[in-house]
Amino acid sequence: MFGAPNQTPYDLHFSVVGIPVRVHPLFWLMAVVLGFAPGQPALIAIWVGVVFISILVHEMGHALAMRHYGFSPSVVLYMGGGLAMYHGESSPWQNYAVFRQQSVHPWHKIIISAAGPAAGFLLAAIVCIYLYVGGRSMSLLGVPLGRGPELEASYLAVLVFDLLVVNVFWGLVNLLPVYPLDGGQIARELFVLFAPRDAIRTSLFLSIATAIGVAVLGYGYLHQQFLGIMFAYFAIMNYQMLQGFFGGGGRPW
């Protein structure tokens, strides 16, 4: 989510439609930790597979949009999630600097940022179509998906549920206007379009306020410690960037 990790001898390398993909070994550790279920190796394996496919699909959405606008992207999956980079592997600030130097309309940048969550939502839609065509259904937070009798408890049901949860709920969280999430980058470009004078400052204030709100909601009300800690960190990071911006350090991105 912040910068590509150094390469290791244990990285997995492959390409998808001509776009290079590298999977850092700590990616697998992150996936196992998030889905750890004592004594349930099959459930852990399903979860890890879902996380791998879902994050790869998300990053490929970004990467394909980047390629459409003339970039030569690559994708890295690592402990922080995933990165789609404009011109090979470098820091996010270097990639962003290259991005800003090119004559790319802010709407194109918004499309690139939105393409990741959109790809995840498309994958979730395919799962729903599978349920509908198969005459089965599943309830997600009380919302029935598909048609017919509910999918019975099985590893297939776990797979379907995990795919929907990751691609719908993580996709929605990722659209919150908090940098460095996709929603934060979209918000920044919208401010550049419609309020260019204070775009950076306004986007940072919005990012901090939203991150604090989600951290309180996640930790205090939903009892989701991981969500609370993650957004508390985002709030601190954005505050530091705001301080750097006003402290004469120049633009934070």
- Residue range 103-145, pLDDT digits in tens: 678 899 999 999 999 999 999 999 999 999 999 888 887 788 8
pTM of the full structure: 0.88
Cα 76 to the center of its chain, rounded Å: 12
Strand bridging mode 74-78 / 19-23: parallel
Strand bridging mode 12-16 / 19-23: antiparallel
Whose tokens are 């800003």? That residue is 100
Q: Beta-carbon neighbour count of residue 203 at 10 Å?
A: 26
Domain ranges of the chain: 176-253
C-beta of residue 82 within 8 angstroms of C-beta of residue 59: yes
- pLDDT tens digits along 144-203: 888 888 888 889 999 999 999 999 999 999 999 999 999 999 999 999 999 888 898 999
